[in-house]
Structure 1
């Protein structure tokens, strides 16, 4: 069989780097070894994969089609290796987690570390869209987000249900209440998140259901920025009610139009599984 794993790796590296020398550097091999591996495929199959044009390489149509297939097989092989490695290293492996809110993500990670203290945990903290993309691109093994789409791409498990709440400075007149509604909030400066935020999507829907069209005083792209702005009396911010363990300098108010009990999911790509993913999914808050 002329499509051996070393030859496939050499061919894919040339495709991804654009030259034999760069491919050699990427794989830690000599350039003649890379050239020979590609030539052996061409000779055995009686095809041409690359044509030289000056100092560069030009891919043939067959070359592009072969790469589409071999890159997928290499990715599946890498995934299989990672699953086996995790199974063999439940006590010393590496686990990658993407979280949209500090909580409940950090509470889940705390319990996971208590059960498997030898496992190295890598955390990617970002917006709803960022974490969803990280799971889809397999930069992380699992994600923790609210309202994950139920569309077959993901395996989901609800870890809790929560709503978006308004947050105000502790000396704000609104801080005397524990519940409010959108019409009342419209009388105060509003601090919004960007449109890719799951928090903002709930806020927008809540004001829409009340037939109101708010104009924010400020828009910030991080939950910490919103928290600090609200804590410093700049206006009314919004966050998931269990989105942070911080309680300093703000008061949380339930908003009638926001109350739906949104599920927070632990989720991963369909078809992906490992002992570490199973261990994380098993955690009950």
Structure 2
């Protein structure tokens, strides 16, 4: 028996929403309908597509292969609906945005929300490796990625470029310097992102290139947490400049061994950029 359109759509929404119940709510059907569609699809394929766990669902390797197809089907469905509904398609909807740096993403989301207040925008901040993998696996509608990898499957729109700087309290001895060397940080407690982040990779590469060892480090998950840690006096941090609008009590100082500019791009899969929801988000860049 061949799988039908409804089974693929239900499967894609379960992955999008993270649970059977949330997918049922989004599609306006009962949870038992979703369960039946997924069960029939797995029976036809001959192997599980999803693992059910306490924290929701995750794809099996076979599930990932079929999810790519199912998500393309959802995108095509959305495009057909938009053409039938016209501009009314922007009166409601949901957009999943991810990024590895907060400031450019939040700025664009703010502009988009001013124009389309009824669209629900979900934003997740992830390390670079996780964010790029989510885009490759079609787990988000749009990504804002610094030093994004090149892919034939993606459309890429330039957002901004920035260099890495040291964030330190105004009263810190290093705050008086016009620039700092990584050597100046050897006796400091340096707050760095978790492994998998672009910042950590570039910082470690620079230290290795210049034979500098940072002995006292504290690892934290996201830039907002790192920034708060600087304000609390836990240490000093390395991150992209202008990553926060909050400038109170903190200096941003260039790092001599890390002068390169790093570009942030808005990324979306090519089959999604024609959707009104995505194209209007891209238009919010300017």
Q: 2:219 aligns to what?
A: 219
Deviation of 1:74 after TM superposition, in Å, equals 4.1
Change (3 A) 1:211 1:85: farther
Is contact 1:192–1:219 with CA below 8 Å preserved after alignment?
yes
Report the structure number with the largest CA radius of gyration: 1
- Residues 1:77 and 2:73 are matched in the alignment: yes
Q: How high is the TM-score relative to the length of structure 2?
A: 0.73
Do the aligned partners of 1:7 and 1:38 also contact (CA within 8 Å) in 2? no
Change (3 A) 1:153 1:216: farther
Query: In the TM superposition, what are the counterparts of 1:8-157 in structure 2 within 5 Å?
Result: 26-27=32-33, 74-85=70-81, 88=85, 89-157=89-157
Report the CA distance shift for 1:102/1:28 in structure 2 as closer, same or farther (over 3 A): closer
> Which position in structure 2 is the counterpart of 1:162?
162
TM-score (norm 1): 0.73
Is the 8 Å Cα contact of residues 125 and 222 (structure 2) preserved in structure 1? no
> Hey, what does 1:204 align to over in structure 2?
204
Root-mean-square deviation (Å): 3.6
- How many equivalent pairs are there? 249
For the residues of structure 1 that align with 2:42 and 2:228, how far apart are their CA atoms? 57
> Which is worse superposed, 71-80 or 136-145?
71-80
The one-character-per-residue Cα deviations of 1:124-179 (angstroms, maximum 9, x if unpaired) are: 22222232233223232100110000133422121000011111112101112232
In structure 2, C-alpha distance between the alignment counterparts of 1:210 and 1:105, rounded to whole Å: 33
SS of 2:91 mapped into structure 1: coil
Offset of 1:199 from its aligned partner?
1.6
After superposition, give the CA deviation of every residue in 1:37-62 in whole Å (9 maximum; x if it has no partner).
999x9xxxxxxx87xxxxxxxxxxxx
In structure 2, do the counterparts of structure 1 residues 148 and 29 end up closer, same or farther at CA, with 3 Å as the change threshold?
A: closer
- Provide structure 1 residue ranges, at least 5 long, that are not aligned to the other structure: 17-23, 42-48, 51-65
Query: CA separation in 1, counterparts of 2:35 and 2:126?
Result: 37
Q: Secondary structure at the match of 2:267?
A: strand
Question: How far apart in 2 are the matches of 1:151 and 1:6?
Answer: 28
- For residue 67 of structure 1, report the CA deviation from its aligned partner: 9.0
Post-superposition CA distance 1:203-244 (Å, at most 9, x none): 222223323122233222232332122222332211211222
Note the residue ranges of structure 2 that are not aligned, 5 or more in a row: 16-29, 47-61
